[in-house]
Amino acid sequence: MRISYYKMLHLAVVCFFAAMTTGCSETVDFHQPQLSVSEKEITFTNQMGEKVIAVNTNCKDWIVSSPQPWVHLTQNDHELNVKVDANNGSGERSTYILVDGGLAVEKITVRQSASDQILKIQDNEIILPQNGGVTMVDINEDGAEYEIKPDAENVWVKIVKKKRALKFISEANYGAKERSFKLSIVQGGKNTDVTVKQPGVSTFVLACNPGTPFSLFKMMDFEYRRGGMLTEYGAPDPTMDLYEETYIFRTPSPLFQEVFYVHDTQNFMPTRIFTRSLVKEGVDAVRTPEFQEYVKANGYERDAKDPNHYVNQTELMTMDVDILESNNSVVLFFNQMHIQDRDYETFESLELGPLHLLDKTDKKIEDVEAYEKSQNSEEIGRQISKSREIEALAFKTTDPVLVGRTYFFYMRGGEFPAPADKVRSVEQYSLSFSNPNLGIWQHGREWFVTKEFNQLLTSNDFEFIGYNGMHHVYARRSDNLTLAISGGKFADMNGGQPVMQISVLYKKDIFAGSKERRMSMVKSVLKRMSVGR
């Protein structure tokens, strides 16, 4: 099914970006790789056929290809012309088209019937936008005669029958409930029953999964249908090493009025997706049975161990409800789920390094050096502050698996001066493992904790706190021991090959406050103390 309003979405984005460029040409750079297509699945009859697909990209050069010779492709500015030969075989055939902008790629599925008639609507469902307007739906590829039979007269929508499409002119739905009706399409003696739906103004809103790689079209299409409007765009700034871009949509909801999508333009993955309410009514609303019914109806199942965590296996999304009582706010955080590619071996037991040295007033730099000497480790680096204090020490071990330990110390000066009795004590240390897959696995440029290592952590009473795009944070309530787990390459560890790094520290208030505050607090500590990356 092709919804013709993709042209309107494409034009809206281009105009929006153009307006911003006019006003901010000296500071805004739109040359980060972005590519999306208006259709990801196209269908033809058995006759020769032709379709035009819009390619929305800022890539200077993009190429297209298909493995089958019966598909012919022509590029024209931001459009792709697709032609197919007649299908003289007895069965349907299919292939794909790759639209490649270098670091941004989209795949289009192509199917061709063995019949001369096609009447196909995806999932037998047509969804009209909440705020009404005109929607065109292509249903009749070869222009054959057909009839439409609505099951009831609906005053809120007018249907105009065209030769190859249906035109829906709908009024806005300001009610709280979705409205719908059945529509029978009769062609060639065959009936196809289609459900036409229009969402209402819900008290609650959920974000979509924009995919991996991030699909601008999918996000815009989802928000347009439910009545969302793009109100703000925050551009990346590579000159400042800032590669995230932000899309903010206003929603029809009276409580959750905005949805934020933050996208990493280097990794082509969402980094933060959330919606929030800044009034007490929003906090009260997420505690009602109506909220539980709403999220369940939309595929989210509540976690038995964590009542504020929900999982949607269909959309491959998780949702966390984070309430901050002090300012009557609630934030719904959404994260993509990544299916682990295979089983991984993990540690037989959880060993977290020299905890006897961590955060002890009677264990100083000399004790760390003595311990590492007893382990036959080699010092490979130290970091000295402007006030000549030792900030960090890095050691290479003789262990082929645990290849390095790096210690960070409390200091007198700096941005975060320590209490007198803690100066020169260990504030945090990091363990580097040569086999990252003992605890993490890689998807694209991101690393995720394996299910096997997660099970080992939870069996040792650690709880998952959150993920900030780099660190997966776990903590234990009994002693507030906190672990930040990440993957990557370090110049001074493992010969420059990837390692898993576990940063170990105590955070007495790790379980206090909102999830957003906890993650921000841990991230600031790790950023302040990281060296050698």
Secondary structure of residue 226 in the 3-state scheme = coil
The candidate with the shortest Cα–Cα distance to 274, out of 330, 324, 327, is 330
pLDDT at 225: 79
Taking alpha carbons only, the member of 241, 249, 244, 296 closest to residue 276 is 249
Longest dimension (CA), the chain: 88
Q: For residues 201 and 130, is the Cβ–Cβ distance under 8 A?
A: yes
Examine the pLDDT at 446 and tell me if it is beyond 60. Answer: yes
In 3D, which of 38, 33, 36, 105 has the Cα closest to residue 65?
A: 105
What are 524's two structure tokens?
A: 């600031």
Residue 521, pLDDT score: 60
Mode of pairing for the β-strands spanning 35-37 and 63-65: unpaired
| Cβ–Cβ < 8 Å for 130, 200 | yes
Q: Residue 354's pLDDT is what?
A: 97
Q: What was the pLDDT predicted at 174?
A: 85
Across the chain, what does the average pLDDT equal? Answer: 84
Q: In this predicted structure, what is the pLDDT of residue 1? A: 39
Dihedral in degrees, nearest 10, Cα atoms 240, 529, 266, 465: -130
Is residue 303 a contact partner of residue 311, using CB atoms and an 8 Å limit?
A: yes
pLDDT the model gives residue 503: 95
Residue 348: partners with Cβ closer than 8 Å, 6 or more residues away? none
Does 14 score more than 70 pLDDT?
A: no
Is the pLDDT at 330 greater than 50? The verdict is yes
Q: What is the pLDDT of residue 17?
A: 41
Q: CA distances (Å), 198 to each of 176, 205, 407, in order?
A: 11, 15, 58
Inter-CA distances, 86 with 59, 64, 108, 349, 495, Å:
33, 21, 19, 62, 57
Q: Which residue has the tokens 């940063």?
A: 503
Q: How far is Cα 340 from Cα 319, in angstroms, rounded to an integer?
A: 19
- Taking only the tens place, the pLDDT of each residue in 457-468 is 999 999 988 887
Helix (H) or strand (E) holding 402: strand 402-409
Contacts of 87 (CB under 8 A, 6+ apart): 44, 46, 70, 93, 112, 113, 114
Torsional class of 488: left (φ above 0), alpha (ψ -120 to 50), beta (otherwise): left
Mean pLDDT of 99-108: 83
State residue 141's pLDDT score: 56
Indicate yes or no: pTM above 0.75. Answer: no
Please, which residues have CB within 8 angstroms of residue 103's CB and are 6 or more apart in sequence? 33, 268
Q: Is 74 helix (H, G, I), strand (E, B) or coil?
A: strand
Model confidence at 122, pLDDT cuts 50, 70, 90, reads low
Question: If you search the block for the tokens 């990091």, which residue do you land on?
Answer: 430
Strand partners of residue 261: 247, 273
pLDDT value at 259 more than 90: yes
Cis bond upstream, residue 213 (ω within 30) = yes
Q: Residue by residue, what is the 3-state secondary structure of 206-224? A: CCCCCCCCCCHHHHHHHHH
pLDDT at residue 114 in the model: 67
What's the pLDDT tens digit per position in 156-174? 999 998 877 888 899 988 8
pLDDT band of 120, cuts 50, 70, 90:
low
Confidence band of 25 (pLDDT split at 50, 70, 90): very low
Window from 24-33, 43-52, 306-315, 326-335 with minimum mean pLDDT? 24-33
Q: Give tens-digit pLDDT for 43-89.
A: 887 777 888 888 888 777 888 999 899 999 998 877 898 999 888 87
Beta-carbon contacts of residue 288 (< 8 Å; ≥ 6 apart): none
Report whether pLDDT(522) > 70.
no
Residue 338 confidence (pLDDT) above 80: yes
Tens of pLDDT along 219-245?
Answer: 888 888 788 888 888 888 888 888 889
Q: Report how far residue 479's alpha carbon sits from residue 116's, in angstroms, rounded to the nearest whole number.
A: 70
Tokens linked to 443: 């998807």
Please tell me the predicted confidence (pLDDT) of residue 115.
57
Residue 151 has pLDDT above 90, yes or no: no
Calculate ∠ Cα 389-393-395, nearest 5°: 165
Percentage of the chain modeled with pLDDT above 70: 86
Average pLDDT value for residue range 354-364: 97
- Return the pLDDT at 216: 80
Which tokens hold the place of 168?
A: 């829906």
Average pLDDT score over residue span 170-188? 86
- Between CA 188 and CA 118 the distance in angstroms is 10
Query: What is the model's pLDDT at position 510?
Result: 85
Residue-level pLDDT at 143: 60
Give pLDDT, residue 283.
94
